[in-house]
C-alpha cells in the first residue's frame, strides 16, 4: 500500500471514504497498525500516559517520554501517516519553545505531523508550525489535557452556544492551516455539522458516525484497558482475556513440569561430548 499523505486524506473526504485512525505506543502495535491497508493514520496519542505508562492523567507525560515511544512506533510504521500528540506543557509557553519542541518530535521520532489540543489560543502556533512545513492535526471538543478545568471528561458542545463556539473554533483552526482535526466527545449532530462546514478531514472519537474518519485508543479497541470504558468505546477484540489465559497456561506448565519439553524445547549435547564431559 502506498504511503498515506495529506492529499490521500483530502481525497478520501471528498469521496466520502471513511478514514481509520488507531493509536500505537510501541513497535509491535505500530506493526499491527501497519498490517492492515485500511488504517490510514497511526497516532501516538498522549493516552500513552494512562494506558501504557500507568499515569493517572495525560498531564503527567513528558516530551522525552513521548519522543521515546513515538520513535519506537516510527520504527514499526510503514504506510500509515504517523502523527503524535504534543504533550501537555510542551506548547503552552512561547511560540518559539513550542516550535522547538515540535521540531524535536519530528527530528528525533521521525513522526510526520503533530496533534495539538486547543482552540483560539493555539491558532497562532498552528499558523507558525504549518507555515514552516510542520503539519498540524487540531483536536477540539473534549480536551483531556484540561480534564481538571473541565471538571471531568464530559461531552462538549451540548448547548447551542457552546456548539456555535466550537464551529467557530473549527473554522479558525482550518484557516490557521491545520490539515485535519480530531473532534472528541460531542453530540453526533455537531460532529456532522462541523464535518460539513470545514474543508479538512475530521476524525471523530465519540463524535458520531458522520465525521470523515474515526479514531480509538488501541487498548480500548483491543480490550486491554480495564479502566473506565467511555460510551463511545467499542471493544473489537478481547486481548486481555487472551493474555490472562496465556499467563495462566505458562505458569501451570512451569509448575507441573511440562514446560520446557526435553525434546522440542531443549538443546541436546552431542553424545561424545557428553561422555568426555562427565
Ligand atoms: O491521546 C489519544 O489517544 C488521543 C486520541 C484518542 C484522539 O488524543
Ligand atoms: Na491525546
Ligand 1 center to 97 CA (angstroms)? 23
Whether 184 is a known active-site residue: answer yes
Residue 228's pLDDT band, with cuts at 50, 70 and 90, is confident
ipTM over 0.95: yes
What global pTM score does this model have? Answer: 0.96
CA angle 121, 126, 127 (to 5 degrees): 110
Q: Model confidence over 23-69: pLDDT tens digits?
A: 999 999 999 999 999 999 999 999 999 999 999 999 999 999 999 99
Of all protein residues, the one whose alpha carbon is nearest to atom 3 of ligand 1 is: 45
Rounded to whole angstroms, the Cα distance separating 165 from 167 reads 5
Residue 163 phi/psi, 5° resolution? Answer: -65, -45
Cβ burial, residue 44 (10 Å; 0-12/13-18/19+): buried
Residues ≥6 apart with Cβ < 8 Å to 33: 22, 24, 39, 42, 76, 77, 80
Q: Which domains does the chain have, with CATH numbers?
A: 6-237 (3.20.20.60), 242-277 (no CATH)
CA 154 to chain centre: 20
Atom 4 of ligand 1, nearest CA residue: 45
DSSP, residue by residue, 54-87: --SSGGG--HHHHHHHHHHHHHH-SSSEEEEEPP
CA 184 to chain centre: 13
Using one digit for the tens of pLDDT, what is the confidence trace for 75-93?
A: 999 999 999 999 999 999 9
Residue among 108, 184, 244, 265 flagged as catalytic: 184
Q: What nine digits make up the cell of 207?
A: 463524535
- Centre of ligand 1 to C-alpha 95, Å, is 23
Q: 3-state SS string over 82-131? A: EEEECCCCCCCCCHHHHHHHHHHHHHHHCCCEEEEECCHHHHHHHHHHHH
**Does the pLDDT of residue 252 top 90, yes or no?**
yes
Amino acid at each position: 500500500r502506498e504511503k498515506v499523505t495529506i492529499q490521500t486524506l483530502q481525497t478520501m473526504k471528498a469521496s466520502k471514504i471513511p478514514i481509520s485512525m488507531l493509536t500505537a505506543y510501541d513497535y509491535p502495535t505500530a506493526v499491527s497498525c501497519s498490517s492492515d491497508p485500511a488504517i490510514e493514520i497511526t497516532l501516538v496519542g498522549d493516552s500513552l500516559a494512562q494506558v501504557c505508562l500507568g499515569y493517572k492523567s495525560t498531564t503527567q507525560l513528558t516530551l522525552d517520554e513521548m519522543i521515546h515511544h513515538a520513535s519506537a512506533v516510527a520504527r514499526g510504521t510503514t504506510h500509515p501517516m504517523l502523527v503524535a500528540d504534543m504533550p501537555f506543557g510542551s506548547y503552552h509557553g512561547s511560540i518559539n519553545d513550542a516550535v522547538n519542541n515540535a521540531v524535536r518530535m519530528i527530528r528525533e521520532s521521525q513522526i510526520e505531523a503533530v496533534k495539538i489540543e486547543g482552540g483560539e489560543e493555539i491558532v497562532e502556533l498552528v499558523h507558525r508550525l504549518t507555515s514552516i512545513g510542520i503539519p498540524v492535526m487540531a483536536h477540539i471538543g473534549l480536551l483531556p489535557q484540561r480534564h481538571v478545568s473541565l471538571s471531568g471528561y464530559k461531552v462538549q458542545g451540548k448547548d447551542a452556544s457552546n456548539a456555535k463556539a466550537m464551529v467557530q473554533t473549527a473554522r479558525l483552526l482550518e484557516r490557521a492551516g491545520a490539515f485535519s482535526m480530531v473532534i472528541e466527545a460531542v453530540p453526533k449532530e455537531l460532529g456532522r455539522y462541523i464535518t460539513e462546514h470545514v474543508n479538512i478531514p475530521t476524525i471523530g472519537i465519540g463524535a458520531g458516525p458522520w465525521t470523515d474518519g474515526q479514531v480509538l485508543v488501541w487498548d480500548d479497541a483491543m480490550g486491554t484497558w480495564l479502566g473506565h470504558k467511555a460510551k463511545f468505546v467499542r471493544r473489537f477484540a478481547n486481548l486481555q482475556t487472551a493474555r490472562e489465559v496465556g499467563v495462566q497456561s505458562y505458569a501451570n506448565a512451569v509448575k507441573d513440569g511440562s514446560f520446557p519439553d526435553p525434546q522440542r524445547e531443549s538443546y541436546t549435547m552431542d553424545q561424545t561430548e557428553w561422555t568426555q564431559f562427565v
